[in-house]
């Protein structure tokens, strides 16, 4: 079996990587792509087995991704899916390393986060592609001897032939080019001192038959040692910066990242959604808060009550030159939706401008998959029938078919905004129902919820008394005599909303 050598590395003109390719990984990320998508890594990121890989100074999230690498054998340009595999010369093991601390600076390109020197070790053995069934390969990863990834190409969303054919539609795949075919579930974070090993194997031709003397073809284990970098990033470029969303993505889950659950407690959410916004508004007014309603909105799901914590997005009026820089690609709107957590409410400042959509069906679906409790916008919504069909409600001013670029540029996220005449800060508690949407300061949420529950219990009693023919004078609100009668009634009619 041939080995990956310095000459193999030198021959690679380009390295192309697939974003999501295994169903197990897609299930972790909460989305399954309909078509493959790609990014480029610098060919200078290629390295050999036994290499030391530096975690850059100031970075905490160096993630490993065990993968099967394809090495192109003959040039491929506009090849068919049926012919694509014949252009692959070899398969081998690879480790698609990257630092999540720099993803924010890449704006979706992965240039800095994935192209560090040595960040694509591959090898050690090259298995001829003609000797394997591409649908029957296995990839495994170990960290310090412990198995962390184990999957087969039966779990691929996109077969290798589709990937090669698709890439060849726009670029010539040349001999020596490397295609990283995606990682299965189990990718996580490595720290200095860790030893990462990746192996790709395949049943040998005729394995399991009397004619076969070999049970398996294997690349051998690709071994990489993580070391700590000492040279800090200079001020003239972007430095490392990691959010909890980055940590969750890098480790694979919030639990693996050691993150504590965010947002409302289950009990506070239960309390807030057990009462109407009309009652909560009355309690806020008692505390001097009159300007906490987001006005002029309707809900796609008026039968639902929601409560969650605010994440904020600000649109500015469209200006064509600025839209080119800020509106396209992985813009602020897409970034915040992709980092929503369970229970978040995405609140958008659209200046009350209804003349274009601020969200459509695809991004609303992504918000729902990420666990958002609701979307709130004082602008329009596109694809309103599809958005209304989601389980997650959206509060909006009206339907409009136009895209963002007609009126808006997505500009900033997670800052203080104005929405429907109310000031909203990240972390504020948002409560909504058919009557409207309220902003509740987190410090007041518990007492407001408790007093609202008490108020609604009293109003149940008042409604019963009115139904029996009593005048509202002295009853609504209750004077001392009626309060005494209510207290007696409450001994046999406990408040169900007060019970956990």
> What's the average model confidence in pLDDT over 367-382?
96
**pLDDT of 31:** 80
**pLDDT of 498:** 66
pLDDT over 90 at 494, yes or no: no
Choosing from 414, 440, 466, the residue where a domain stops is 440
Q: Are residues 412 and 343 in the same domain?
A: yes
For the chain, the average pLDDT equals: 92
Choosing from 420, 440, 460, the residue where a domain stops is 440
Greater confidence (258 vs 364) lies with 364
pLDDT over 60 at 206, yes or no: no
Residue 284 lies inside a defined structural domain of this protein: no
Residue 384 lies inside a defined structural domain of this protein: yes
Residue 315 lies inside a defined structural domain of this protein: yes
Q: Are residues 370 and 481 in the same domain?
A: no
pLDDT digits (tens, 9 = 90+) for 55-84: 999 899 999 999 999 999 999 999 999 999
Greater confidence (7 vs 165) lies with 165
Q: Are residues 236 and 294 in the same domain?
A: no
Q: Are residues 419 and 315 in the same domain?
A: yes
The domain containing residue 315 runs over which residues? 290-440
**pLDDT of 264:** 84
Q: Are residues 335 and 457 in the same domain?
A: no
Residue 27: which pLDDT band, with cuts at 50, 70 and 90?
confident
Domain count, the chain: 3
**pLDDT of 210:** 47
Residue 267 lies inside a defined structural domain of this protein: no
pLDDT over 80 at 429, yes or no: yes
> What's the average model confidence in pLDDT over 186-208?
86
**pLDDT of 499:** 65
Q: Are residues 53 and 155 in the same domain?
A: yes
**pLDDT of 205:** 56
Q: How many Å apart are CA 174 and CA 485, to the nearest integer? A: 87
**pLDDT of 248:** 86
The rounded radius of gyration (Å) of the Cα atoms in the chain is 29
pLDDT over 90 at 387, yes or no: yes
pLDDT digits (tens, 9 = 90+) for 125-143: 999 999 999 999 999 999 9
Residue 263 lies inside a defined structural domain of this protein: no
Residue 213 lies inside a defined structural domain of this protein: yes
Q: Are residues 20 and 71 in the same domain?
A: yes
pLDDT over 80 at 393, yes or no: yes
CATH number of the domain to which 388 belongs = 3.50.30.40
Q: Are residues 380 and 354 in the same domain?
A: yes
Q: Are residues 313 and 170 in the same domain?
A: no
Residue 114 lies inside a defined structural domain of this protein: yes
pLDDT over 70 at 280, yes or no: yes
**pLDDT of 242:** 83
**pLDDT of 204:** 64
Residue 270 lies inside a defined structural domain of this protein: no
Choosing from 222, 251, 280, the residue where a domain stops is 251
Q: Are residues 454 and 419 in the same domain?
A: no
Q: Are residues 344 and 234 in the same domain?
A: no
pLDDT over 80 at 244, yes or no: no
CATH number of the domain to which 210 belongs = 3.90.850.10
Q: Are residues 418 and 488 in the same domain?
A: no
pLDDT over 50 at 209, yes or no: no
Residue 256: which pLDDT band, with cuts at 50, 70 and 90?
confident
**Out of 111-125, 205-219, 310-324, least confident range:** 205-219
């Amino acid at each position: 079996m041939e080995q990956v050598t310095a000459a193999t590395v030198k021959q690679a003109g380009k390295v192309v990587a697939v974003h999501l390719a295994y169903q197990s990984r897609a299930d972790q990320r909460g989305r399954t792509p309909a078509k493959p998508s790609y990014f480029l890594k610098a060919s200078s990121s290629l390295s050999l087995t036994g290499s030391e890989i530096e975690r850059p100074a100031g970075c905490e999230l160096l993630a490993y991704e065990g993968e099967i690498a394809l090495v192109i054998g003959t040039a491929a340009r506009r090849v068919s899916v049926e012919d694509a595999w014949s252009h692959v010369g070899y398969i081998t093991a690879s480790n698609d390393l990257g630092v999540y601390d720099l993803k924010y600076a890449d704006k979706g390109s992965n240039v800095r986060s994935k192209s560090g020197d040595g960040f694509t070790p591959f090898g050690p053995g090259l298995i001829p592609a003609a000797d394997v069934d591409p649908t029957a390969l296995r990839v495994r990863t170990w960290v310090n001897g412990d198995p962390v990834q184990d999957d087969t190409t039966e779990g691929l969303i996109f077969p290798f032939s589709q990937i090669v054919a698709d890439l060849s539609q726009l670029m010539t795949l040349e001999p020596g080019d490397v295609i990283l075919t995606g990682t299965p579930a189990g990718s996580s974070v490595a720290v200095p001192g860790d030893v990462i090993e990746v192996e790709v194997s395949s049943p040998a031709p005729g394995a399991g038959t009397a004619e076969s003397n070999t049970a398996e073809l294997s690349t051998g284990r690709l071994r990489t040692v993580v070391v700590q970098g000492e040279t800090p990033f200079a001020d003239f470029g972007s430095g490392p910066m990691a959010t909890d969303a980055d940590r969750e993505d890098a480790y694979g889950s919030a639990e693996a990242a050691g993150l504590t659950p965010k947002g409302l407690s289950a009990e506070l959410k239960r309390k807030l959604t057990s009462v109407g916004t009309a009652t909560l508004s009355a309690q806020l007014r008692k505390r001097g808060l009159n300007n906490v309603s987001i006005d002029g909105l309707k809900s796609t799901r008026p039968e639902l009550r929601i409560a969650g914590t605010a994440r904020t997005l600000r649109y500015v009026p469209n200006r064509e030159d600025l839209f080119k820089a800020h509106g396209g690609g992985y813009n602020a709107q897409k970034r915040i939706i992709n980092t929503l957590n369970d229970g978040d409410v995405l609140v958008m400042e659209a200046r009350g401008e209804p003349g274009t959509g601020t969200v459509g069906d695809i991004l609303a679906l992504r918000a729902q998959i990420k666990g958002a409790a609701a979307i709130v916008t004082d602008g329009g919504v596109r694809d309103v029938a599809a958005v209304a069909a989601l389980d997650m409600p959206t509060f909006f001013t009206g339907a409009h078919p136009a895209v963002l670029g007609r009126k808006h540029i997505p500009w900033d996220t997670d800052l203080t905004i104005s929405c429907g005449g109310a000031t909203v800060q990240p972390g504020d508690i948002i409560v909504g129902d058919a009557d409207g949407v309220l902003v509740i300061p987190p410090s007041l949420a518990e007492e407001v919820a408790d007093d609202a529950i008490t108020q609604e219990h009293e109003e149940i009693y008042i409604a019963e008394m009115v139904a029996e023919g009593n005048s509202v004078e002295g009853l609504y609100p209750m004077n001392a005599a009626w309060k005494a009668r209510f207290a007696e009634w409450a001994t046999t009619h406990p408040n169900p909303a007060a019970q956990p």
